[in-house]
Amino acid sequence: MNYWIKNDIIPDLDQSDKDWLIEKFDGRLNPTADLFITSENELPTSITEKFATIGEKLDLQLVETSVFTGTPGKKPIPHVDHKQGYDTLRWRLSYFVQGGCPFYWWESGELVRIGPYAKWQNETTVLDTLDTTEVKSAFLRTDIPHSVDMTNNTKTRIVVSSTYTYVGGGGVPPWDYITNRLVSE
């Protein structure tokens, strides 16, 4: 089973965009959480246009582009992503700006907490790993319990992540839609 797809679809962000992201989000952390999501839609158009263009190539419509930051030295517990208005968020497209680290997918386990955007569970057995120090971008399954291990990070983890729906609405396509579209490209 595929849990991630490394790809060359996202053109590399311009250095000025990377510098802007680092200046804006480095150190922007939530003191009560190991991971922090910013959904303010305050990203430069040069970044959001690249994500929108990728969606168009896959017959998808960009819904939201967010920035995730992660606290160096932390290891959040596994979770499954949710999005308001949807049940489970099946996948995201992510661009890794800074603070690459291992990204793990876990077997399902006992739920320990449920929130508006995620369901957290106990650690179980790792099913797959992606080292985000070695890739610039990837489609990531988020309907399988997953976590990041930032214990060896010295910098804030910064990831630009986007969500999509079918063009014209109708919800988030299944993971197989993405894998089939990328194979046919």
Under DSSP, the state recorded for 88 is B
Q: Is the pLDDT confidence value at 7 over 70?
A: yes
Q: How high is the pLDDT of residue 117?
A: 80
What is the CATH code of the structural domain delimited by 4-184?
2.60.120
pLDDT bucket at 184, cuts 50 / 70 / 90: low
Taking CA atoms, 21 is separated from 68, 77, 85, in Å, by 11, 26, 28
Q: At 10, is the pLDDT very low, low, confident or very high (cuts 50, 70, 90)?
A: confident
pLDDT for the residue 124:
96
> Quick check: pTM over 0.85?
yes
Angle made by CA atoms 168, 171, 176, in degrees to the nearest 5: 110
pLDDT band with cut points at 50, 70 and 90 for residue 6: confident
Considering only residues 66 and 8, tell me which one the structure prediction assigns the higher pLDDT. Answer: 66
pLDDT in tens, 102-146: 999 999 999 998 887 888 999 999 999 999 998 899 999 999 999
Cβ-based neighbours of 60, under 8 Å, separated by 6 or more: 164, 165, 166, 167, 173
Q: Please give the mean pLDDT across all residues of the chain.
A: 88
Task: Specify the 3-state DSSP secondary structure of 144.
Answer: coil
Q: With 80 as the cut, is the pLDDT of residue 1 above it? A: no
Domain range summary for the chain, segments of one domain joined by +: 4-184
